Amino acid sequence: MNYALTVITAALAGFLARWYMLRRDYRQYPSYPQGWAIHLFLGFIGGLIGAIIVPAFLEKEFAALSFLLLAASQFREVRKVERDTLEAMESTEMVKRGTAYIEGIARVFETRNYLAIWVALGVSLVFEFFAWLGPWRVLPAALAGLILAVLLNQLMQGKQIGDLARVQIVPLKFENSMLVVGPKYMTNIGLAEAREVFVKRGLAAVIQPSGPNAKATLANVGQMQAIAHDVASMVGIYMDVDEQEYTPLVRRDSDTGNLYLVMIPSEQNRDAFLAAIRRVPVLEGAVRKPLTSLPGKMVD
């Protein structure tokens, strides 16, 4: 009972930190309320684990400490559950996320539970360190929890396409039935009606990498698929099931490393189209840094 207040305060901090890290945006995942209930409960469990570590260490209950660390390792199953859920939902998507994007999302949700543990552990340490303050030790503990939650959440924020590349509108045209975006031949559109829709409503953009590292990152097929999916999610698409000719396309120019995206959005708003491309997250699994190697520097 000596550490009851420590455990309650730290566990609550971990739970609130997980709540703070929840996101529900254009991706509509996790869903509300079922998805939120699952993740908040896991956040509470993570917070409870982090809260008990310090009292267990102070009481020299090393067996209990080992058990807690083993329990924390079970959050690896969260990634598997998220991966399975998103893969099951993949068949319902008009524009597929792709396996790389799904793996990235699953990894994020696993990591956020570990962050809840870190926040609870930090609050528990501060709470015990300022024990001489009596009830007022809640204040420095709360401040520490707030700083940790904000800091760790900021560290989790990855880069976006706009950080790696310059995005511009480019014209699209047809050469007979071949769709051409800038200098890039994209695909063959056989139906005359579909070609008319592209000319009338279609938008195209070029994504120009800012350097060799960005060029290598954007060359990832999973990243290209994520761009098509996210832009379609943000600005909407003009297509129905089985209308494959209207599917957003991303193609890479082998000579320059530029990516070319063409799609038919629900509304022809160029500014929204460009903003959507710039906001697409860079997948962690797609990041490449050839300039950190000697051969890469030699090629550059």
Report yes or no on 90 lying in a domain.
yes
Residue spans of the chain under pLDDT 50? none
Does 172 share its domain with 282?
Answer: yes
Distances (CA, A) of 280 to 14, 90, 230, 252, 292: 29, 18, 6, 17, 25
pLDDT of residue 277: 93
pLDDT of residue 94: 82
Which residue range(s) make up the domain with 285? 161-290
Report yes or no on 300 lying in a domain.
no
Distances (CA, A) of 16 to 157, 161, 168, 213: 19, 30, 41, 37
Does 8 share its domain with 149?
Answer: yes
Which two structure tokens, joined as six digits, stand for 15?
Answer: 């739970």
- The domain boundary, picked from 122, 155, 188, lies at 155
How many independent structural domains does the chain possess?
A: 2
Report yes or no on 295 lying in a domain.
no
Across the beta sheet with 203-209, what order do the strands follow?
A: 165-169, 203-209, 259-263, 249-252
Does 107 share its domain with 213?
Answer: no
Does 89 share its domain with 170?
Answer: no
pLDDT of residue 85: 84
Does 8 share its domain with 142?
Answer: yes
Closest by Cα among 23, 25, 26 to 237: 26
Does 38 share its domain with 147?
Answer: yes
- The domain boundary, picked from 107, 129, 155, lies at 155
pLDDT of residue 212: 86
Report yes or no on 52 lying in a domain.
yes
Report yes or no on 298 lying in a domain.
no
- The domain boundary, picked from 155, 172, 199, lies at 155
Write the CB contacts of 300 (distance below 8 Å, at least 6 apart in sequence): 212, 290, 291
pLDDT of residue 266: 86
Which two structure tokens, joined as six digits, stand for 289?
Answer: 């840094």
Does 9 share its domain with 81?
Answer: yes
Write the CB contacts of 28 (distance below 8 Å, at least 6 apart in sequence): none
Does 46 share its domain with 182?
Answer: no
Q: Please, what sign has the CA dihedral across residues 160, 163, 165, 166? A: positive
Report yes or no on 190 lying in a domain.
yes
Does 271 share its domain with 175?
Answer: yes
pLDDT of residue 297: 62
Does 127 share its domain with 39?
Answer: yes
Which two structure tokens, joined as six digits, stand for 150?
Answer: 């904000």
Report yes or no on 144 lying in a domain.
yes
Report yes or no on 139 lying in a domain.
yes
Does 21 share its domain with 37?
Answer: yes
Does 85 share its domain with 126?
Answer: yes
Beta strands in 164-270 (DSSP E): 165-169, 172-175, 178-181, 184-188, 203-209, 249-252, 259-263
Q: How far is CA 95 from the centre of its chain?
A: 17
